[in-house]
Structure formats: structure tokens, C-alpha cells
Amino acid sequence: MNSASKLKLVWMSASFALAVAGTATSFADQHAHFDHDRGGHVVFDERYQHGHYYPRHGEVVRELPVGYRTFYHGGHPFFFVGGVWYAPGPAGFIVTVPPVGLVVSVLPPFATTVWIGGVPYYYANDVYYQWQPGVNSYEVVAPPPGADQPGAPPSAPNAGQAPGDDFFVYPKNGQSPEQQSQDRYECHAWASNQTGFDPTKPGGGVSPDQNGAKRDQYRRAMTACLDARGYTVQ
């Protein structure tokens, strides 16, 4: 190989290395809020055994991460990606908690299904969501009575509740958020149709004397349906 060819090869190798380094830097900038080693800028959410890292509320980023979605509440935009909510700020975008009543079409990735008082909620990053069949979407809701509060020690399943009231659902096959939403709704619809019990209605939509038995039937039907679709139910 002559000198000119060697020089060209070195130049190409250097250019490739710089390109890779630039791509890595860009990726790191976009996802820096998920870096586990940023000195207190992230928190580990272990409530309900959720087990995921999120940027601390109040953190500011210059640019939104790739893949965000925009939702509006009261005429104000909120940006949603990876279970994290952002609001416009004077120096960029602020990590925030979405307002109660905001309606979203998809749940956060790896949202944990939590049953409290016989009603299903979907939890991630200090936010509770509930399915609203009237709008075919999920709504941000206030923490329900009996829910763990920020800063409180994580409670075990069924803590403080009657047996069978609460359970947790985890995807075990890497299902996408869209697939999880569809599976949860279809299993809920099937279990409701099979048992006549609908936890989204007051009292489950059944008479008080039937509530306990019907709730247990609904729970068993939901567990069977979700298990068949590749979820762990505890």
C-alpha cells in the first residue's frame, strides 16, 4: 500500500470515529435524563415494584427527547415520552406532573397495573391513570384513597386492603405500550362480559350482596386472560 493509500485509510478511519462519537454524543444529549449516574438528577421509582428510573421533577432540558407526543389540557401543551411529562419553560422544557383530567391515548411504557379498592389504575412515575371508556382513552387522575404517596415507603401488594382487591400486572414479553393498552382493555371487556362485574362502575355495576363474589370472578377472569397474553399477575 503506497503512502497516499495509507493516508486515505487513516483519514477515513478518523472520520468514521468522529461520526460515531458525534452520534453517541447526540444520543446521550437526547436521553441524558435517563442516565443513572447524573448525581441526583434521576430518581428510582420503586412504588408498587415499578422499578424504573425517571428524571427528577423540576429538571430542565434544552430539547425534548425523540418520539415525544403532545397533549393539551386547558389550552396548554404537555409533552409526553417514556413515561415522563414536560411543560414549556423559560429555559427549555421542565419535567413536570401532568394535571388531573388530562386525557392520553397511550399509557407509559411498563406502566404497572394497580388495583385499589377493586378498581384498576395504571401507575408510573408518580402518576395514576384510569381507563375512560366514554372517550376510549386514559385519564390522569388523583391518587386514589389508600394509594402510596410520594416519599412513603413502598407497600406490599394488598397492604391495607381486603384480600383480592389489589393486584399488579407486569409485561414479560416486551410488549409495546400500545399492545399493553389494547391487551388490558380487551381483557377487561372480556372479563366484564363473562362475569357481569365492571370495576369502572360504582359498586362494579352489581348489587351489594353480589359485589364480593363477582369481584373475585372478575379478578380470576382478568388474571387468566392476561396470563394467556404474556403478562405476570401478582
Whether the per-residue pLDDT at 71 is higher than 90: the answer is yes
Q: Look at residue 27 in the predicted model and tell me its pLDDT.
A: 29
* pLDDT confidence of residue 91: 86
Whether the per-residue pLDDT at 35 is higher than 80: the answer is: no
Q: Are 141 and 90 in the same domain?
A: no
Give yes or no for a contact between 73 and 82, defined as CB atoms under 8 angstroms apart: no
Going by pLDDT thresholds of 50, 70 and 90, the confidence category of residue 2 is low
Kindly state whether residues 43 and 156 are assigned to the same domain.
Answer: no
The band of 150, judged by pLDDT with boundaries at 50, 70 and 90, is: low
The pLDDT, as a whole number, for residue 52 is: 82
In this structure, are residues 212 and 203 in contact, taking their beta carbons and an 8 Å threshold? no
> 210 in a domain, yes or no?
yes
pLDDT digits (tens, 9 = 90+) for 181-192: 778 778 888 888
User: Which cell is 177 given?
Assistant: 405500550
Range of the domain at 146: 103-233
Confidence of residue 95 (pLDDT cuts 50, 70, 90): very high
Do 159 and 124 lie in one domain? The reply is yes
Percent of the chain beyond pLDDT 70? 71
Grid-cell match 408498587, residue found: 48
- Reduce the DSSP state of residue 216 to 3 states and report it: helix
Model confidence at 165, pLDDT cuts 50, 70, 90, reads: very low
pTM above 0.85, yes or no: no
Instruction: Specify whether 203 is located in the same domain as 182.
Output: yes
Higher pLDDT, 119 or 2: 119
Q: Where are the alpha helices (DSSP H) in 107-176?
A: none
Q: What is the mean pLDDT of residues 170-178?
A: 77
Cα 82 from chain centre: 7
Query: Domain check: are 176 and 191 in the same one?
Result: yes
Split into its structural domains, the chain has a count of: 2
